[in-house]
Amino acid sequence: MKIRHLVRVSVLAIAAAAAAITPARRADACGGCFVVQGSRTVVAGHRMILSISNLQTTLWDQIVYSGSPESFAWVLPVKGVAKVGLSSDALFENLEADTAIQILSPPVQCPGVYGSGAGTCSYGYASAGPTGGSTSSGGAEDPVEVVSHEVVGPYETVQLSSTDPAALTDWLASHGYDVPNDIVPVIDTYVTEGFDFLALKLVPGQGVDAMRPVRVSALGANPSLPLRMVAAGAGAFTPVTLWILGEGRYEPANFPWFAIDAKDLVWNWNTGSSNYKELRAAEYEATNNEGWQIETAGPFPSLTFQGELMGLATSNPTGSGYADDMGQGAVDACKEDLADLLATLDPASVWVTRVRGELSRDALASDLDLAAATDQSAVPAVLQVPDGAMIGSPCLYADCYDGTGADGPGSPGDDPDSSGGCSIGEPAGFRWSLAALAALGIAAALRRRRS
């Protein structure tokens, strides 16, 4: 297969219930990545944001894939009429930066260097970033009803309702959606459970090279992320990062979960990295890749976050990803995005919980239910490797010689130990030996001259 592009796109899947004045009803959804018939694509992972309040639930789903944007389409199970809007990659990038995981090496004392006496050589390493109108389908006898049909930016969206799973699958197939055979039973189950479906794909002729993120919102609070549709287009394992914004810390209720304890970390000065990735991989393996890691959890600086994103939309409308094709409307689009993200939450009580999974196909057979954590303490983003928990010696590394502790590895990557580390240099004593030999040579020369 020839890979034409490697880009990130966003679609939305939501969890929602009816308004408080009506009887509560469950309304969950999660997006499946379908392909247009005749094309070949690969889904490499998801990044999702779920904002949960008593008034509204909104979820963004950013898909990492290879292939042409024109070849993708998304089918999302929903209940009730969903609100679809446009978002921006900047929303994900700013959340990524604000929840960056940092691993700090243990503090060490190197012997005196450069004649300055003993100096402290301490490292830190950041792992995950620096910080419409409705139309009818033609009558009640039609097994598939088009509840709504509208164009949102470059997308054509259609919300479908049917009590006949076969008829719904036939409708999708007849409109260019290539429904994988293993997803047909999933659609059947969602139909049986009373779900409708929101289908999205690019409007023909848009000439889009990279998809713009989409968000979907609905009334009510429901901390649930159905994963069954995520299996569409997924491989043997699907990496998923999920940010949950709510009034407190959340955790998986029906999946195993874990957190990395700083006391288990070891720093390897030979590689300039910790054993963070190894610890995480062991935990995933122990849960048969069905477990979720709680990476960070804590109070969210919502006012600062809003100011930074709005500042970007104001100063660089096109670069923010919120502007239209004419470079206009970025500020208003950013305000709408932030309203769905934070406006229904108490600014003084907002927390963000970041969880990550490397899910097997078996894990995608069940929906993810989230619950308020029994332990409402924070899960820190900064992990300090314990004193003495290290392999090798920092005093053998040239970058540590100035004793300031300011030297460190290179730019942060997407993984705790993906890059960086001291460059290997000669031992400190080696330089001192050279200096001593030079001094002795000069002294001998002076003695010979005097004699």
Q: Find out whether 187 and 179 touch, Cβ atoms under 8 Å.
A: yes
Confidence of residue 446 (pLDDT cuts 50, 70, 90): very low
In this prediction the pTM is: 0.73
- Structural domain range at position 211: 6-98+132-254+269-300+350-374
352-375: per-residue pLDDT in tens? 999 999 999 889 888 899 999 999
Of the candidates 312, 32, 64, which has an alpha carbon nearest to the alpha carbon of residue 211?
Answer: 64
| 110 falls within a domain | no
Q: What angle do CA 244, 248, 251 make, to 5 degrees?
A: 55
| 442 falls within a domain | no
| 263 falls within a domain | no
Q: What angle do CA 119, 125, 130 make, to 5 degrees?
A: 125
| 180 falls within a domain | yes
DSSP for residue 342: I
How far apart (Å, rounded) are the C-alpha atoms in residues 395 and 376? 41
Q: What pLDDT shows up at residue 178?
A: 77
| 390 falls within a domain | no
**Beta strand ranges found along 275-346 (DSSP E):** 292-299
| 155 falls within a domain | yes
Least confident of 61-75, 214-228, 296-310: 61-75
Provide the number of structural domains found in the chain: 1
- Helices (H), ranges, 247-297: 276-286
| 109 falls within a domain | no
- Choose between 91 and 405: higher pLDDT: 91
163-191: per-residue pLDDT in tens? 888 888 888 888 877 787 878 888 888 88
| 385 falls within a domain | no
